[in-house]
Amino acid sequence: MVTDKKLKISALELLFIQTAIEVWNDEKIKIGYDFLESGLGIKMITQGNGEKPQKGQRVIVHYTGVLEDGKKFDSSRDRNRPFEFNVGVGEVIKGWDEGVMNLPIGSRAMLMIPADLGYGSRAIGPIPANATLFFDIEVIGVK
């Protein structure tokens, strides 16, 4: 026979386990990323040999963007057309500017972009408010 005391301990243990699993699920996604002071996470897939793009340069990239649940929301690869923008001047979200300027040409990396470096409290199309964004981004070159 199980006593009331045993049930209370089991409930506390269950609560602890559930909490530990939630924390682990939140933290495991960060494994392998190097985090900059801003909170931007960079996980290098392929280290490029070129120079890092400088502020104002026109950069050519391929990318795939996904939400925390893995749902893809955009991809230049799906369109088979690289995306070009002037880096560091606010043409794209802050996380892209900072991330791309930290990737040598030829690099491919995963960027983990917190909401404050993405779209913040605004919902944009399939991207919910306060979303952490993940981008598989490849710096193809500069013009």
What confidence tens digit (pLDDT) does each residue in 12-50 have? Answer: 666 666 776 666 666 656 788 999 999 999 999 999 999
Of 57, 63, 62, nearest in space to 86 by CA: 57
* 74 among known catalytic residues: yes
* 73 among known catalytic residues: yes
Q: Which fold has domain 33-142?
A: Chitinase A; domain 3 (3.10.50)
Q: Name residues whose C-beta falls within 8 Å of residue 68's C-beta, 6 or more positions apart in sequence.
A: 29, 131, 132, 134
* Distance, CA of 25 to CA of 69 (rounded, Å): 11
Low-confidence ranges of the chain (pLDDT < 50): 1
* 83 among known catalytic residues: no
* 16 among known catalytic residues: no
pLDDT of residue 9: 53
pLDDT of residue 11: 67
pLDDT of residue 107: 98
pTM for the whole structure: 0.82
Contact by Cβ (8 Å): 62, 83: yes
* 35 among known catalytic residues: no
Q: From the candidates 42, 63, 105, 136, give the one annotated as an active-site residue.
A: 63
Q: From the candidates 29, 33, 60, 74, give the one annotated as an active-site residue.
A: 74
